[in-house]
Amino acid sequence: MTTFHPREPRRLARREFLRRSALGAAGLVIAPSLLAACGGGDDGGTSTATELPLARPDSPVTLPLYDDNAAIAAGLEPEDGPLRIYNWVDYLWPKKLKEFGKEYSVDVELTTFSTMDEAIAKLASGAANFDVFFPTTDRISRLAYGKLVQPLNRDYLPNLANVWSALQDPFYDKGSRYTVPYVTFSTGIGYRRDRLGLDPAKLDNPYDVFWDDSLRGKVWLLDDAREAIALALLRKGETDVNTEDPALIDAAKADLLDLISAVNVKVSTEDYSKVPEGVAPVHQAWSGSMIAAQWYLPEGVGTEELGFWFPADGRGPIGSDQMAVLRGAKNPVLAHHFLDFMLEEKNAYDNFAQFVGYQPPLTSLDPDRLVTDEVVPPTLRSAVVRESDFDAGLQELELSPDGQVLWQNAWAEFKAGL
Amino acid sequence: MRYPRWFWPAASLPGVAWLALFFVLPLYAILAIALGSVDPLLQTVRPAWNPLDWDTAAFDFVFEGLLGGGGFQKVFVRTFAYVAVALVLTLLIAYPVAYFVARHGGRWKGLLLAGLVAPFFISYLMRMLSWINLLQEDGWVNDALAWLHLVDEPINWLDGRASSVVLGLVYGYVPFMILPLYAFLDRVDPRLLEAARDLGASPAEAFRMVTLPLSVPAVLAGTVIVALPMFGDYYTPDLLSGSPNTSMIGNQVNLYIRGGQQVPVGAALVCVLMVVLLVLMLYYLVATARVARRAGQA
């Protein structure tokens, strides 16, 4: 069984290679954007240049409701389908789609995207008609203000009660007006004990493991601007992972550039396979990738060789992905039912444990149960996200346009090498 | 019978339409994106189709980085170095192969050619993925080197090495060099070589003074065919290295083009790269024209 980490914007999963293999010449690299452009990006219809509020835990956002984008009424009959779902690759257990289709006697069609930007460009072009979408937290405001998603009618979503209360009323979408949570994750340090030869958890500052020059050639970062720069910030004790202070970002960039000469650092988003295969003895990693990593271990290597470190006090990067119903949905009632179906205890649990590796925020789940159920090996206990992590954890959230430019340029300079 | 005046010029219409649709329009779209903006709400690109709306901020940023010694300059210099080395190696491999098949292939020519091209029916990315397996520490490359006693310790070829990236580029594009060279060498008039031998040239001299000069246009054509995709490559360094120290222009283009606030910067990088390549293309055109002129005089 395979799974990929689906939420990463710049990942290069093996499957995607096939899709990209046609893009050879320099000019062709631009093709996706070109298509988006030709699809009507010029209409200006959705651009009201609204100053988006930046949701923060201490500055929650209640997303606006619009007269021309109302929620569906309660008690409607589900449509005849087909239900069209727009999701990351391998981020849903196909068996669950079949079961849903059977329950409602409809066809379910899954279409996948590989980056959030690609997905939103396609949705904004109006050329796509999907019912259900899986947005990341940092895009929810944009999607609601841009009227690409529709408000939810909670009458259809009784199973929302199954999830952690903090995520039933999250600061980025107070009252869950437009979204419900799908899965959660944290970002920490993944490693192969036998290949690394030291335990990052035992270091005074575990993040220092990346800068340890005795580990030259063994060190990998996530190929993700937000995650990698946040790591450099956290190492220096800076816990504002959404800072837009140029001095802090510059310092983080300098620290990352140091990694190139110190350990010849490499970047990838295949933490789920590179760590278990031993290619990356230590890799900045997503919790869900490390849980999935046990399925990638070579024969003869036990799960006890996998390790994951996340700050015990929960002051590390954490996040969740959401489900939403698109405004242009042809099957809004069915879409609501699908959201509720995926929030149902058993469906959410099986989808996580059997296929995705990313954990739904169910109140019934805790590290003890997952270890007992043998979904998670004892050595990966810290890869289980707890509700309390959402109090202490640090979410990488929407930046202002200037902030995005600051982060992206710092990342581009790191990626250009020495 | 007399044809109306528009008749013969009209025959060029399909070609003109093709160029307009698949070359001029996409080119203008890239330019419009580079000089355009990003939707503030949904962050989708908004190309500036109207020249009056052009905003050169992205180009300013790219030139600043290129001339000011920033990241862009590093990747441009690195990319040109990688492509130059890869081109030389490609030529050194492709020429003898094409020469052998063309001159000594005999009745096996077709089979040899098919055999050379067969692996390239497989997707470029699949072939790079196989190289990952071959190059890894316990892969066949290290096994072979150890068996030949060339190395004591297995070498981690995937440890972010420039040599692995160049190897990937060479392997990936070498057939596109072999084919034009073969097509040319196969057509060299044997009487020219016989004449050279009759006039006292040794086989080596005949090659150096007849075959090699004649094959210059084919070498240039192969170089152009191979160099252009190499300049745009970004997955070879991603796959065979992963180190920022081996990233190429394509990687920076990819970083900016895949979304966010600065898609125009990615498009501007593409434009700058295209202008540089255009200069190289012009040299190719001038050089081949010169060769053709000389052939005409001879």
Q: Per-residue DSSP letters for A5-72?
A: --S-TT---HHHHHHHTT--SGGGGGHHHHHHHHTTTTS-TT---------BTTB------BTTBPPP
Asked if B139 has any chain A CB less than 8 Å from its own CB, the reply is: no
Give yes or no for residue B161 having a pLDDT over 50: yes
Residues B242 and A260: their CA atoms lie apart, in Å, by 11
pLDDT, position A341: 96
Collapse the DSSP code of A222 into the 3-class scheme (helix H, G, I; strand E, B; otherwise coil) and give the result: strand
Tell whether A29 lies on the interface with B, counting CB pairs under 8 A. yes
CB neighbour list of residue B265: distance below 8 Å, 6 or more residues apart: B58, B61, B62, B256
pLDDT band of residue B157 (cuts 50, 70, 90) is confident
- CA–CA distance, A262 with A244 (Å, rounded to integer): 27
Tell me if B243 sits within 8 A of B77, measured CB to CB.
no
Candidates A16, A29, A218, A264: best to mutate against B (most CBs of B within 10 A) is: A29
| 3-class DSSP assignment, residue A262 | helix
- Least CB–CB distance from A415: residue in B26, B128, B247: B247
Interface probe, candidates B37, B82, B239, B261, chain A, greatest A C-beta count within 10 A: B261
Q: Do B255 and A415 count as a contact with CB atoms less than 8 A apart?
A: yes
The helix or strand, by DSSP H or E, that contains position B102, with its residue range, turns out to be helix B71-104
Q: Note the pLDDT of residue A208.
A: 95
CA pair distance B129, B124, nearest whole angstrom: 9
Mean of the pLDDT values across residues B82-91?
96
Q: Which of B216, B184, B187 is nearest to B287 (CA)?
A: B216
pLDDT for position B268:
95
Assign B79 a pLDDT band (cuts: 50, 70, 90). very high
Is there a contact between A42 and B49 if contact means CB atoms under 8 Å apart?
yes
Question: What is the residue whose two structure tokens read 């298509």?
Answer: A35
Inter-axis angle of helices A246-263 and A401-415, to 10 degrees?
A: 20
Q: A46 and chain B: CB distance < 8 Å anywhere?
A: yes
* Residues 96-135 (A) with a CB less than 8 A from some CB of B: 115-118, 120-121, 124-125
Does B77 contact chain A (CB < 8 Å)? no
Task: Report ipTM (2 d.p.).
Answer: 0.89
Do A415 and B247 contact (CB within 8 A), yes or no?
yes
Q: Please, are residues B270 and B26 in contact by the beta-carbon 8 Å criterion?
A: no
Does B264 lie at the interface with A, CB-CB under 8 angstroms?
Answer: no
A145 contact residues in B (CB cutoff 8 A): 41
Instruction: Read off the pTM.
Output: 0.87
User: What is the model's pLDDT at position A132?
Assistant: 96
Yes or no: say if A342 and A348 are a contact pair by the CB < 8 Å rule.
yes
Q: Give B189: exposed, middle or buried? Use CB within 10 Å, 0-12, 13-18, 19+.
A: exposed
Q: Which residues of B touch A32 (CB under 8 A)?
A: 257-258
Q: Is the pLDDT of residue B90 over 80?
A: yes
**Helix-helix angle B71-104:B57-67, to 10 degrees:** 80
A10–B41 C-beta distance less than 8 A: no
Between strands A219-222 and A282-286, the pairing is: parallel
Which candidate from A49, A117, A146 shows the least CB-CB separation from B260?
A117
Cα distance between residue A77 and residue A105, in whole Å: 13
Q: Please, are residues A294 and A380 in contact by the beta-carbon 8 Å criterion?
A: yes
Burial bucket for residue B125 (CB in 10 Å: 0-12, 13-18, 19+): buried
Task: Name the average pLDDT for chain B.
Answer: 89
- Do residue A33 and residue B33 have CB atoms under 8 angstroms apart? yes
- Residue A109 DSSP code: E
Sequence-distant (≥ 6) Cβ neighbours of residue B278 within 8 angstroms? none
Give the residue on B whose Cα is nearest the Cα of A50.
B41
For residue A47, which residues of chain B lie inside 8 Å, CB to CB? 39-42, 46
Write out residues 107-126 of B within 8 Å (CB-CB) of A. 123-126
Asked if the Cβ–Cβ distance from B253 to A30 is below 8 Å, we say yes
Residues A268, A280 contacting (CB under 8 angstroms): yes
When pLDDT is cut at 50, 70 and 90, the band that residue B259 belongs to is: confident
Per-residue confidence band for B1, with pLDDT thresholds at 50, 70 and 90: low
Tens-digit pLDDT profile for chain A (418 aa)? Answer: 333 344 443 333 433 333 333 333 333 333 444 444 443 333 334 444 457 889 999 999 999 999 999 999 999 999 998 999 999 988 999 999 999 999 999 999 999 988 888 898 889 888 788 999 999 999 999 999 999 999 999 999 999 999 999 899 999 999 999 999 999 999 999 999 999 988 999 999 999 999 999 999 899 999 999 999 999 999 999 999 999 999 999 999 999 999 999 999 999 989 999 999 988 999 999 999 999 999 899 999 999 999 999 998 899 999 999 999 999 899 999 999 999 999 999 999 999 988 888 999 999 888 888 888 888 999 999 999 999 899 899 999 999 989 999 999 999 999 999 8
- Which amino acid type is present at position B211? T
For the ranges A236-245, B133-142, B257-266, the one whose mean pLDDT is highest:
A236-245
Distance CA A283, CA A302 (A): 18
Given CB atoms, is B26 within the 8 Å cutoff of chain A?
A: yes
